[in-house]
Structure 1
Amino acid sequence: MSLQRRFLNFVTMNCERGIYSLHRIDLPTQRLFYPTTPAQQKKLDLQSMERIGIPPASINFHPNPSSLAEHHEWKVFFFGLSESKVICTDNNGLAFLYDAGLRSVLAMPSLHAPKWLPISLSVPDPDTSEKAAAAATLHRGEVAQTTEKGSSSPSIVYAKPDELCFDKVWHRHSLPLPPFVLEPGFDDETTRIRSHAVFGGGSHLCVSFSRGAGTYCFDTASGEWSRAGDWTLPILGKAEYVPELNLWFGLNEHDLPCVSDLSGTLTGHKPELCGVWRRYHPPDWS
């Protein structure tokens, strides 16, 4: 995510009706982030928290009922590709792309199987300014299904599927699995994807696993995995890269906003947190 982006997309859920709503915050007009430097901030006497209203929903989504949903909770999963484009999929694996700028919907290939808790790793297309490739099917149960069929994991990519096709289209593509998945004794029931990030503008994908499996990096050019270390990334879930600061932002294990320099991961250096934002409650909240 760049500091220069105009819109921030976020999704809310109506728990009673089960409807998801995508909202777009216009950052130049609605200040979501504090604009001053740390030195200027120390001079301010903050006594109240500024409030902004939630803009109307750009579009609403209703999940398709699925008997395979975890805890019988029907869900829609959202994977941001760019400032305006979002891939959406449900528990059944049905997928489509929503373009918030054009207010249009594009049908996409269905995922190869229903999903419980998928994650997304977006890789920019070198021929466009959009993020066009997404390994959007990795999740905690993926290894159990793919090891039975072979040593590959499915993804969705925007490219020419073969030499006979003149145009790029969204289609399914297979990626190799991390090597430890195919080793004897691997337990697919307890191993989870703990953290994930994108490095080098999409040259490498990084995934940390639980149960001592460690951290692995995937070279998107060669299609090969390499082990970074027996440690895990300090950011839980998705680590979002901000190029202007050369830092990755996300949440720690206590769900607090945090920041880390992950640039040494590819060379095997274990990253640490650079800072954590503690909860601040204004006086009128107590």
Structure 2
Amino acid sequence: MMRRFVNLVTLNWAERVYSVRRMNPYKELFYESAKAAIEAADEANMKEPFPALQTLQLPNPAMNFTATDSGGTLDMFSLFSPRATNEGRIVYANAMGEAGLYDADKHVHSTLGVFNVPKGTRPMCLSTAPHPGANQDSMYVLDMFPGKADGRCFEVLEFVSSGRSDLSNFKSTWRWRLLPPPPFVSKPGYQPSSITAYTAVDDGKGCSTIYVSCGGGIGTYRFETARHDPSCRQGWSPSEEWSYVGAWKLPFVGRAQYVSEFNLWFGFLEFGPNHLCAVDLSAIDSERPPTVLQNWQDLNPPEGQEWLPTYLKLVHLGHGKFLTAKIFELGETCEQFAVLTGIEMIAGDQSLKMVKHKCAHYGFGNESIEWVL
């Protein structure tokens, strides 16, 4: 299925108001077909680089938020179960760990209680598919600098059955539960180091494994959310165990997403934030890092200008289409702006071809783009 909207979370700095704005990516960032995009590129290459930067017009807000803590900041926005059928459920939290859920499709707001321990600014958020026999996803949240809060850096938002037939009270059936921290945080001499890359691998039967890479020579670890267990009535049991994978790091920066139509994981290349890469993580070898199968330059900054990336996000729209969202700081002036690009992957006999569609620029004034979901 195709996603209908992409959610832009903006911040009005003067009023300290966050807004969720729902953008139609196909209207703003895509031609009617890959053929039309290729023809436009062929014509533009005779005159100027393609795609030329257009000016992005922000959609009207669907909902506004203000933080209740004294700092007036919201530290987390994440799409809960980011699939085509759940493209509007947004979980957010303030600096105190107070969390809520806004369903932009239903225009419904619900409270989600409070983290056991706040998870810092822009934590790792990963939604996983329901376990066998269950009908609700889970969201795993990890501080990007694990170990700062006495090891209480990892939690899961999970659905808890109340034993009642009426489950309409959202607050009473969802909870945050602490999970064991990555093992490296308890090693002697550990200093909080940043998570460099993360992703989830689903076995297709409802059990997911989370992979996390950390800097400082720590390497890569896996967290098994559950394992199949025929002895249990539901057919699975929670394992919730960390294990060491290897001394290497995953070859991308930030999150990589699994795309079923290509059976590959896509993310931004570790040392090339303006390059997408495709990696096969279906059979990870502890002896060596996964191999980058292909990479493509998805954005060409102007020559002579230093664009320093501060935020990178890849959104899979379905049917081979993606949106890349990047926030940059101009090296000389520290001016900040966002660039959104529509791209399409087309499968060939033995490789993928990237087709660039349109590219839009948004300069930050009183309002900035903070998250793209």
Q: Shorter-chain TM-score category? A: 0.7 to 0.9
Partner of 1:70: none
Which ranges of structure 1 fall in alignment gaps of 5 or more residues?
A: 68-72
Partner of 1:195: 197
The 8 Å contact of residues 49 and 282 in structure 1, kept in 2 or not, is answered as no
How far did 1:112 drift? Answer: 1.1
How far did 1:22 drift? Answer: 1.2
How far did 1:99 drift? Answer: 0.3
How far did 1:215 drift? Answer: 0.9
1:176 match: secondary structure: coil
Residue in structure 1 matching 2:124, options 101, 107, 119? 119
The one-letter code matched in structure 1 to 2:300 is Y
Q: Distance in 1 between matches of 2:18 and 2:283?
A: 35
Q: Distance in 1 between matches of 2:143 and 2:113?
A: 18
- Is residue 2:14 matched to residue 1:13? no
Partner of 1:258: 276
Residue in structure 2 matching 1:133, options 117, 132, 138? 138
How far did 1:249 drift? Answer: 3.1
Q: Please, what is the CA RMSD of the aligned residues?
A: 3.4
How many residues are matched? 268
Pairing 1:48-127 to 2, within 5 Å after superposition: 48-49=52-53, 53-66=57-70, 74-81=73-80, 82=82, 83-117=87-121, 118-126=123-131
Partner of 2:240: 223
Q: Distance in 1 between matches of 2:259 and 2:111?
A: 30
The 8 Å contact of residues 116 and 177 in structure 2, kept in 1 or not, is answered as no
Q: 1:130 to 1:160 in 2, by over 3 A?
A: closer
How far did 1:276 drift? Answer: 3.6
Q: 1:131 to 1:198 in 2, by over 3 A?
A: farther
Q: 1:265 to 1:63 in 2, by over 3 A?
A: farther
Partner of 1:236: 253
Which ranges of structure 2 fall in alignment gaps of 5 or more residues?
A: 227-238, 304-360, 362-373
How far did 1:41 drift? Answer: 5.5
- Greater strand share, structure number: 2
How far did 1:11 drift? Answer: 1.4
The one-letter code matched in structure 1 to 2:222 is C
Cα deviation code 1:245-266 (max 9, x no counterpart): 2333333455425122141463
The 8 Å contact of residues 68 and 94 in structure 2, kept in 1 or not, is answered as yes
Cα deviation code 1:227-253 (max 9, x no counterpart): 221111222112222222233333345
1:240 match: secondary structure: strand
The one-letter code matched in structure 2 to 1:79 is S
1:181 match: secondary structure: helix
How far did 1:93 drift? Answer: 0.4
Which aligned segments of 4 or more residues in structure 1 are displaced greater than 6 angstroms?
127-131
Partner of 1:169: 173
- Is residue 2:43 matched to residue 1:45? yes
Identity of aligned residues (%): 27
How far did 1:107 drift? Answer: 0.8
How far did 1:12 drift? Answer: 1.9
The 8 Å contact of residues 122 and 135 in structure 1, kept in 2 or not, is answered as yes
How far did 1:61 drift? Answer: 1.6
How far did 1:98 drift? Answer: 0.6
The 8 Å contact of residues 258 and 265 in structure 2, kept in 1 or not, is answered as yes
Residue in structure 1 matching 2:297, options 262, 274, 277? 277
How far did 1:74 drift? Answer: 2.5
